[in-house]
Amino acid sequence: MSRWEPDARERFVAAALELFTDQGYDDTTVAQIAERAGLTKSTFFRHFSDKREVLAAGQETLSRLFAEGISSAPADASPLAAVAAGLANAASAMTPFNRELAPRLEAVIATSSELQERAALKQVGMALAMADALRSRGVTDQVASTAAELGVLAFKGAFAEWIADGPDGTADLAALLRDALDRLRSAVAQLG
């Protein structure tokens, strides 16, 4: 086993998704995932605590990217402009790999209430991560929470559009995110 494993994480995710899809999530073991990926179990456990984490890893990465983007926004950026920076940072890290795997990931999650619950917790975690990053900029609680929820809504909507465009589509995630956030900004004005 070479120590050089630049794409070990992606290989595990791809292998796990194949197996979950083919034989079901419950019947798939970490040993099988490692074998399919052509890597060892110990390498698996350097990247993930268990097979469930393979599916949640993307959401944790997203939370980190959102928070980093928000923290790096110009000091005078408004709360929603900072959220836009967080979304842009996440978009810049998304690859064709993410786009290709996302529909299969969603299909696997849809087969298990346990996985749906985990995904929901991670979704709540994304909003908390954005709100925390905003509060660190001095944004008040209520404004931070509201801006974070809009950020998650924008991401979910734009990501779904990106995936729906298909693997050969030309849709630009960053542009979709900007549009989604703009639509939510307009929606806010209609709340009454």
Query: Would you tell me how many other CB atoms lie within 10 Å of the CB of residue 2?
Result: 7
Q: Judged by CB under 8 A, which of 33, 62, 80, 101 binds its own copies?
A: 80
Query: What DSSP letter does each residue of 116-144 carry, written as one string?
Result: HHHHHHHHHHHHHHHHHHHHTTT--HHHH
Q: Judged by CB under 8 A, which of 31, 124, 164, 175 binds its own copies?
A: 124
Binding flag, residue 116, its own copies (CB under 8 A): yes
Gap between the Cα atoms of 5 and 18, Å rounded: 20
> How far is C-alpha 162 from the geometric centre of its chain's CA atoms?
13
Of 11-19, 37-45, 98-106, 114-122, the window that binds its own copies (rule: CB under 8 A) is 114-122
Of 23-31, 104-112, 158-166, 178-186, the window that binds its own copies (rule: CB under 8 A) is 178-186
Binding flag, residue 142, its own copies (CB under 8 A): yes
Gap between the Cα atoms of 70 and 132, Å rounded: 10
Q: Judged by CB under 8 A, which of 153, 160, 171, 174 binds its own copies?
A: 153
Degrees (nearest 5) of the Cα angle 190, 74, 191?
Answer: 10
Binding flag, residue 185, its own copies (CB under 8 A): yes
Instruction: Using CB under 8 A, list all residues that contact its own copies.
Output: 77-81, 114, 116-118, 120-121, 123-124, 140, 142-143, 145-147, 149-150, 153, 157, 183-188, 190-192
